[in-house]
């Protein structure tokens, strides 16, 4: 393994462990409620519809089949909360690739070594991708085990399809953070851009289904290519996931070119 890649993974190890534990704890907390909901579908179904009326319910994915095993997993794990945890994790790691070391002054020292700038960006991206993949694998296995423990009958292949989408979505936003950091060298700006794209993209995707003025913007939202295929219901949406992967590759190229041409004071 290249030295820079292995060093980056070592630097990420505590953050990766913390995020993995936190996401597994989140899954465990919400799935622990499922047995009660499954035993009282009429009560909890009406309570959910009353608590999240109108537009709020649309932001929660419509709560379709909320009391079923697939609907519960889709609404509370894969619709909003789970993806956003992964996105924030990816953004934090993406910021540690270029922007954070540049602001702290350690990046200049790294660039004085015989390391090509393009290689540096690519290996930091590789560390980001491998780190997120590790989080995704562990949390997938934990979710599979937890869903089986509480009596959910969701096939593991469907859970894997949903988790693949979460990984690709997180990698997209992590790469976006890296690209903005490579272009401007500021953590705050990178996080602001990612926050706007993430929140705006989610609102456009969830509300644009029923609001004509927003519907055309759905094609620009990364959440469309994550949510529209409904992997827990229909399996792996290959075409949508390829769009997310292609957009990530494009952002990586932008990051490499931007950083290669920018003066970072070396």
Residue 56: inside a domain: no
* pLDDT for the residue 266: 47
* pLDDT for the residue 230: 87
Ranges 59-73, 74-88, 101-115, 168-182, most confident: 168-182
d(CA 66, CA 77): 12
Give pLDDT tens digits for 187-234: 999 999 999 999 999 888 877 777 777 777 888 899 999 988 889 888
d(CA 162, CA 77): 10
d(CA 249, CA 259): 15
Residue 266: inside a domain: no
| 62 has pLDDT over 60 | no
* pLDDT for the residue 84: 92
pLDDT-above-90 percentage for the chain: 50
* pLDDT for the residue 194: 95
pTM of the model: 0.91
Number of domains within the chain = 1
d(CA 164, CA 187): 27
Residue 52: inside a domain: no
* pLDDT for the residue 5: 85
Residue 234: inside a domain: yes
| 9 has pLDDT over 80 | yes
Residue 50: inside a domain: no
Give pLDDT tens digits for 245-260: 999 999 999 999 999 8
Contact 166, 86 (CB under 8 A): yes
Give pLDDT tens digits for 126-176: 999 999 999 999 999 999 999 999 888 889 999 999 999 999 999 999 999
Residue 254: inside a domain: yes
Mean pLDDT of 65-85: 85
Q: Is 211 left (phi over 0), alpha (psi -120 to 50) or beta?
A: beta
d(CA 81, CA 85): 6
Q: What is the DSSP annotation of 160-188? A: HHHHHHHHHHHHHHHHHHHHHHHHH--HH
d(CA 13, CA 122): 19
* pLDDT for the residue 36: 81
* pLDDT for the residue 25: 96
Residue 63: inside a domain: no
What domain range is 150 assigned to? 3-34+69-261
> Range with the lowest mean pLDDT among 57-61, 122-126, 216-220?
57-61
d(CA 214, CA 205): 8
Residue 170: inside a domain: yes
């Amino acid at each position: 393994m290249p030295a820079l890649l292995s060093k980056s993974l070592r630097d990420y190890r505590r953050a990766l462990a913390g995020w993995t534990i936190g996401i597994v704890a989140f899954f465990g907390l919400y799935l622990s409620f499922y047995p009660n909901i499954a035993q009282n579908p009429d009560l909890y179904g009406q309570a959910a519809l009353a608590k999240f009326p109108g537009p709020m319910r649309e932001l929660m994915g419509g709560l379709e089949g909320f009391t079923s095993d697939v609907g519960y997993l889709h609404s509370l794990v894969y619709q909003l909360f789970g993806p956003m945890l992964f996105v924030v994790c990816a953004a934090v790691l993406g910021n540690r690739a270029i922007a954070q070391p540049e602001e702290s002054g350690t990046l200049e020292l790294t660039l004085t070594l015989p390391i090509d700038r393009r290689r540096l960006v690519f290996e930091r991206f590789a560390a980001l991708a491998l780190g997120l993949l590790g989080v995704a694998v562990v949390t997938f296995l934990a979710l599979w085990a937890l869903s089986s423990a509480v009596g959910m009958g969701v096939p593991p292949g469907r859970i894997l399809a949903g988790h693949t989408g979460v990984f690709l979505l997180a990698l997209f936003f992590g790469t976006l953070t890296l690209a903005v950091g490579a272009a401007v060298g500021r953590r705050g700006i990178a996080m602001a851009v990612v926050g706007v794209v993430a929140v705006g993209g989610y609102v456009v995707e969830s509300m644009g289904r029923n609001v004509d003025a927003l519907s055309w913007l759905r094609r620009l939202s990364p959440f469309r290519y994550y949510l529209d295929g409904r992997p827990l219901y229909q399996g792996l949406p290959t075409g949508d996931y390829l769009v997310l992967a292609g957009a990530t590759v494009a952002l990586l190229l932008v990051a490499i070119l931007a950083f290669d041409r920018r003066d970072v004071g070396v």
